[in-house]
Amino acid sequence: MALDKLMNKSFLTRTISGIFLVVIIAVTAIVGGDLLYGVVFAISLIGLFELYRVADIHKTPLGIIGYIGAAIYFLLLRFTDNNYFEVFGVGFLIAVMAVYVFTFPKYSAEKIMMSYFGVMYVPVLMSYMYRVRNYNDDGIYTFWLIFICSWVCDTCAYLTGVTCGKHKMAPVLSPKKSIEGAVGGVIGAALIGAIYGLAVGDKLSGIDNAPVLFGIIGAAGGLISMIGDLCASAIKRNYEIKDYGNLIPGHGGIMDRFDSVIITAPLIYYLIVYFGRF
């Protein structure tokens, strides 16, 4: 029965499209630079559009100002020394508040907050994929920790859950997720992280004892990735939708596939920055 669950059509579709997605990401990560910048910018805008569509503000002034805000943020990311992000956050908030005030009572407070939240949640957090890759010469290797912590954890959790999951982790929010699956996901991410650290450790210039560090990061990132996954699920539950889109066969939209990446990318960046100081 467990084998039948693993080999169903949905799983095979997810696997095939997932392989294509990994190939695309691998190419952009290896090339890095402006190619990666452009890809991250593009998927950020698509993800933001998907989120705004759920809240029904994707074609409104609130949505438009969000897209403009995302574009400004990415321009600052590419062409400044990162000292303007706080100014951007305050300035964008004022712009959203201005729309609220001058169009009142056209938009509810919930939609105003979604406009601001959407940019901070999707483009800003997603941009850490680019920041991890460009942080230093080790970026071409540390970049993959983002996906070990998110996609590898998710895959290990899925395989563990469908084979031996019994106890529900979040029965109301995500009934199919189990505690056993979560444990399997964290352990899997930690083990793959450690193996990956062992494989690339001698190529790293700013990190010592990579197997141990990457194993710890894999476990911590795996735990955090579940928050990202469940957060995206909670939004879908609130708006009573199944998927954010259908761009990726078997996975849904950008927000369905990158929900855990969004939150693990910043964690990886700051852990690498922190441990790189020693």
**Cβ(117)–Cβ(236) under 8 Å?**
no
More confident residue, 124 or 16: 124
Q: Work out the burial of residue 87: count CB atoms within 10 Å of its CB; fewer than 13 is exposed, 13-18 middle, 19 or more buried.
A: exposed
Residue-level pLDDT at 278: 45
Residue-level pLDDT at 19: 85
Q: Residues 6-14: what's their mean pLDDT? A: 64
* Predicted confidence band of residue 30 (pLDDT cuts 50, 70, 90): very high
pTM for this predicted structure: 0.90
Residue-level pLDDT at 276: 62
pLDDT, tens digit (0-9, with 9 covering 90-100), for 234-268: 999 999 998 998 888 777 899 999 999 999 999 99
DSSP output for 231-274 = HHHHHHHHHT-S-S-SSBTTTBSHHHHSHHHHHHHHHHHHHHHH
More confident residue, 159 or 108: 108
Q: Residues 103-130: what's their mean pLDDT? A: 96
Residue-level pLDDT at 235: 94
Locate 101 and state its tokens. 């005030």
Sign of CA dihedral 137, 138, 141, 143: negative
Residue 11: left if φ>0, alpha if ψ -120 to 50, beta else—which one?
alpha
pLDDT, tens digit (0-9, with 9 covering 90-100), for 40-62: 999 999 999 999 999 999 999 99
Q: Alpha-carbon Rg of the chain, whole angstroms?
A: 19
pLDDT, tens digit (0-9, with 9 covering 90-100), for 212-224: 999 999 999 999 9
Which of 259, 264, 273, 277 has the alpha carbon at shortest distance from 47? 259
